[in-house]
Amino acid sequence: MASDPTHQLFTRLIHGGLAPDPSTGAILTPIYQSTTYVQEAVGKDKGFTYSRTRNPTVAALERNLGELDRALPAACFATGMAALTVLFLATLKGGDHAVVSDVVYGGTVRLLRQVFADLGVAATFVDPGDPAALAAAWRPETRLFLVESPANPTLKLTDLAAAAAAAHAAGALLAVDNTLLPSIQEPLELGADIVLYSTTKYIEGHNSTVGGALLTRDPALADRIRFLQNAVGCIQAPFEAWLTLRGLKTLPLRMERHAQNALAVARFLESHPRVERVAYPFLDSFPQVELARRQQKNGGGMIAFEVFGGSEAGIRVMNSVSLCSLAENLGAVETLITHPATMTHAPIPAAERAAIGIGDGLVRLSVGLEDPNDLIADLERALQS
């Protein structure tokens, strides 16, 4: 079926950019597990020559994933970190500068500080909600503003329309890591130039693959990203692409249920006497709840909370759950509980972590698709421990 941007999201993600396999009628795009493609004559191929450059299964995923944000076909990568690497290579060169929101995935910080800094790319980490700090961060050589909203793991939000205006006024592009809210928040509609996803999370959604993607509506930027995908050699693999395509078909459905479950669990945690603080964007107590309602369709599936008794008490809860799994990753059908200070955000020095709200007692919960009553019972037991 040809892509039609007027179709609604559920329809676009089931059919957009996809067609039955022409040779067999198979309704799903097959897994083209082939390195190379036989050419009819020199210079006469069928659009595929070598799978580092282009692969039919990956190409189907790229067309379909583009539909998520009404963008051009996405570029899909072996991991979210590969997507971040290509984002930086596509937008920055030695001598350039990036402004980055202060709370981002630890791997993003590590990549900028321990890899790109050595190549002469500077980065300033700043609270995008602090107008004075943001104004002071821009430099004449700033080319990229990268934000994560909600931020992993504090869930602090960035006003994306304001961020786009600020980036463009400074002559920079706005890239949004939308990993936590695919189908819930549309950064390109709010003025962003590039959207990044770790497809490892909600998009594939079943804890089966790692992957990443970049989406844009700008043809020149899309071409540059496509060039780098081949030049660097970090394209997604066919089987992973096929599983990710399958995930996309149910993404909006899963996201709605993730959010329903997370709201129920967040309300339970907020009412619990042992819980000191809960962050969930659609709770009335969330400091940025109005912004959340303005730019998100729902609150998403992530919760951050702290229990009375500091890090020792928080760690006790994480060690006492049984239905929730203590594990890295987020955004899958299974509920995962994580200790950001020692797991996902360990690459950030402790003092800096504390300054941006990632205390040693912070617990991150990626609420899955189990019955919310079972999750609440598990957490209730762990909180009593």
Question: x/- contact string, 98-137, with ligand PLP (CB under 6 A)?
Answer: -------x-x------------------------------
Among 212, 252, 299, 300, binds ligand PLP (CB under 6 A): 212
If 0-12 CB within 10 Å is exposed, 13-18 middle and 19+ buried, where does residue 56 land?
buried
Q: Using CA atoms, how far apart are residues 42 and 14, in angstroms rounded to an integer?
A: 37
Catalytic residue (choose from 21, 37, 52, 297)? 52
Q: Are 136 and 161 in contact (CB under 8 A)?
A: no
Q: Choose one: 16-24, 77-85, 253-261, 267-275; the region binding ligand PLP (CB under 6 A).
A: 77-85
Q: Using CA atoms, how far apart are residues 110 and 129, in angstroms rounded to an integer?
A: 23
Catalytic residue (choose from 159, 177, 193, 378)? 177
Closest CA to 121 of 140, 93, 143: 93
b/e code 164-194 from CB counts within 10 Å (16+ = b): bebbeebebbbbbbbbbbbbbbbbbebbbbb
The H-or-E segment that residue 144 falls in is strand 142-148
Q: How far is the CB of 304 from ligand PLP (least distance, A)?
A: 13
Give residue 316's Cα distance to chain centre: 29
Q: Are 205 and 329 in contact (CB under 8 A)?
A: no
Question: x/- contact string, 317-356, with ligand PLP (CB under 6 A)?
Answer: ---------------------------x------------
Q: Which is nearer to ligand PLP, 186 or 378 (CB)?
A: 186
Q: How far is the CB of 176 from ligand PLP (least distance, A)?
A: 10
Question: x/- contact string, 150-189, with ligand PLP (CB under 6 A)?
Answer: --x------------------------x-x----------
Among 58, 81, 237, 365, binds ligand PLP (CB under 6 A): 81
At 264, list the tokens: 């129920």
Residue type, 170: A
Give yes or no for residue 198 binding ligand PLP (CB under 6 A).
yes
Q: Choose one: 28-36, 51-59, 79-87, 119-127; the region binding ligand PLP (CB under 6 A).
A: 79-87
Among 92, 147, 194, 210, binds ligand PLP (CB under 6 A): 210
Q: How far is the CB of 79 from ligand PLP (least distance, A)?
A: 4
Q: Using CA atoms, how far apart are residues 257 and 264, in angstroms rounded to an integer?
A: 11
Q: Is 201 a catalytic residue?
A: yes
Q: How far is the CB of 22 from ligand PLP (least distance, A)?
A: 32
Give yes or no for residue 85 binding ligand PLP (CB under 6 A).
no
Give yes or no for residue 240 binding ligand PLP (CB under 6 A).
no
Q: Are 19 and 1 in contact (CB under 8 A)?
A: yes
Among 56, 80, 247, 300, binds ligand PLP (CB under 6 A): 80
Q: Is 52 a catalytic residue?
A: yes
Catalytic residue (choose from 156, 201, 226, 364)? 201
Q: Is 105 a catalytic residue?
A: yes
At 272, list the tokens: 């619990």
If 0-12 CB within 10 Å is exposed, 13-18 middle and 19+ buried, where does residue 10 land?
middle
Cα maximum dimension of the chain = 74
Please give the residue whose beta carbon sits closest to ligand PLP in the complex. Answer: 80
What DSSP letter does each residue of 311-349 carry, written as one string?
A: HHHHHHHHHH-SSSEE-S--SSSS-EEE-TTTTTTTTS-
In 3-state terms, what secondary structure has residue 249? helix
Question: x/- contact string, 138-157, with ligand PLP (CB under 6 A)?
Answer: ----------x---x-----
Give residue 168's Cα distance to chain centre: 23
Q: Choose one: 76-84, 110-118, 314-322, 332-340; the region binding ligand PLP (CB under 6 A).
A: 76-84
Q: How far is the CB of 148 from ligand PLP (least distance, A)?
A: 6
Which sequence positions are flagged as catalytic? 52, 105, 177, 201
Q: Which residues bind ligand PLP (CB under 6 A)?
A: 79-81, 105, 107, 148, 152, 177, 179, 198, 200, 210, 212, 344
